[in-house]
Amino acid sequence: MNRRLRRLVLAPYHYAWAWFAAFRHGFPASNLAVIGVTGTKGKSSVAEMLYAILETSGRKTALAGTIRFAIGDESRPNLFKMTLPGRGFIQEFLATAQKKGCTHAVVEITSEGALQYRHLGLELDALIFTNLQKEHIESHGSMEHYARAKFKIGESLAKSRKRPRAIIANAESSYAAPYLALPVEAHIPFSFADVEETSISENGISFTYKHVLFSIPQPGRFSVENALAAIKAAEWLGVPLATCAQALAALTHIPGRAERIDVGQGFLAIVDYAHTPDSLRALYGAFRNRRKICVLGNTGGGRDTWKRPEMGKIAEESCDMVILTNEDPYDEDPRTIVDAMASGMQRAPDIILDRREAIRAALRAARTGDAVLVSGKGTDPFIMGASGSKTPWSDARVVREELERLLTRN
């Protein structure tokens, strides 16, 4: 049974689960201000930024996303290998958040989750749309189908019984128009043009928005857009801009998102989730003034095969040394995946399928002032192999361990 037919057959099951879970837990979203975050890239960073702002403002907040699940000061990593788990998980989570005194919840929502009706019963107050890039094409069948699945989340905002409702959308995305036309009370576009006095470096960004200075220790142009999305959502929720600036200035660490691993080495070691062509370009562009040693694979064997040679080409164009490695092959031969990536390159890359060995080789090759960029997995907790096998994994942990070993050896 192919994936789309299977999805069609299981649709009533997923629909029933969503509504049963909401009913069973007393429709907890009705008693919380729920802000959804969707888009191909930037969801996790925006969600973390908005969560930090709301917590700093004194609003006890729950966060459900790709990186972690948090309720106030309590936090645990997301080990599900999916942003929005099924079987009523989100309703149980929100019910727990409500019992523990939360007033707000920030929830990342994916197109895959929407196709399985996991967004039903969320009763959104607001939705943030970050962007839409070519992704999940095999899963959805086409870019048009992917966009349609993603827009179901926008339609759920329009159907929400909450008042008022707001859509916060990236006006620079060619897919933003239908979101900004949703029949809700507030339409809030954001774009790079909204800020002034912008400074962007590998150490962070700064800009002025409505005469308030923001200095944020997150690198790259993409961080400006992510911050604006969170700021505009918080502003709509009544948070003063000064509080937003205070919260974002203190946000020095977003796991797996341009995450710096530092044990005293003389070069940068960065772990990032970048796994699409656009996100890979953005990551490499954030460190354009450094000699770059890049370790990457191709997320998801058996899917999005179109991007493999393009990812290889981008790495070759941007990096001084490229090491292709294993990522999440599932039932596909890992060597077949990296060979497809190498086919987009003019010069032969280093191929080291053992991911730890690849990271070790990159760190050993680094010189003072270089940047070692390990991309593709971010905070993913497993390497997914054949027949459903899962090998526990953490890029950040492995990079740290290998750096410590390198410094001890030297």
Domains of the chain with CATH codes: 3-249 (3.40.1190.10), 259-409 (3.90.190.20)
Q: What is the pLDDT of residue 44?
A: 97
Q: What is the pLDDT of residue 5?
A: 59
Does 138 score more than 90 pLDDT? Answer: no
Q: What is the pLDDT of residue 6?
A: 63
Percent of the chain predicted with pLDDT > 90:
86
What would the pLDDT profile of 299-336 be if each residue is shown by its tens digit? Answer: 777 778 999 999 999 999 999 999 999 999 999 999 99
Write down the residue that tokens 């999940």 correspond to. Answer: 136
Angle at 100 between CA 98 and CA 101, to 5 degrees: 65
Mean pLDDT of 264-271: 98
Does 10 score more than 80 pLDDT? Answer: no
Q: Which helix (H) or strand (E) holds 341?
A: helix 334-342
Does 1 score more than 60 pLDDT? Answer: no
Q: How confident is the model at residue 145 (pLDDT cuts 50, 70, 90)?
A: confident
What would the pLDDT profile of 66-75 be if each residue is shown by its tens digit? Answer: 999 999 999 9
Q: What is the pLDDT of residue 288?
A: 95
Q: What is the pLDDT of residue 362?
A: 98
What would the pLDDT profile of 210-228 be if each residue is shown by its tens digit? Answer: 999 999 999 999 999 999 9
Q: What is the pLDDT of residue 7?
A: 60
**Structural tokens at position 126:** 């607001």
Q: Which of 251-265, 288-302, 328-342 has the lowest mean pLDDT?
A: 288-302
Does 404 score more than 90 pLDDT? Answer: yes
Q: How confident is the model at residue 174 (pLDDT cuts 50, 70, 90)?
A: very high
Question: What is the torsional sign of CA 189, 192, 198, 199?
Answer: positive
The model carries a pTM of 0.95
CB atoms closer than 10 angstroms to residue 186:
11
Mean pLDDT of 174-185: 97
Percent of the chain predicted with pLDDT > 70:
96
Does 274 score more than 70 pLDDT? Answer: yes
Cis preceding-peptide flag for 183 (omega within 30 of 0): no
Contact status, residue 362 vs residue 323, Cβ threshold 8 Å? yes
Q: How confident is the model at residue 15 (pLDDT cuts 50, 70, 90)?
A: confident
Does 86 score more than 60 pLDDT? Answer: yes
> Which residues does residue 187 pair with via DSSP β-bridges, in sequence order?
167
Calculate the average pLDDT of the chain. 94
Q: What is the pLDDT of residue 308?
A: 95
Q: What is the pLDDT of residue 2?
A: 58
Which 8-state DSSP code applies to residue 118? Answer: T
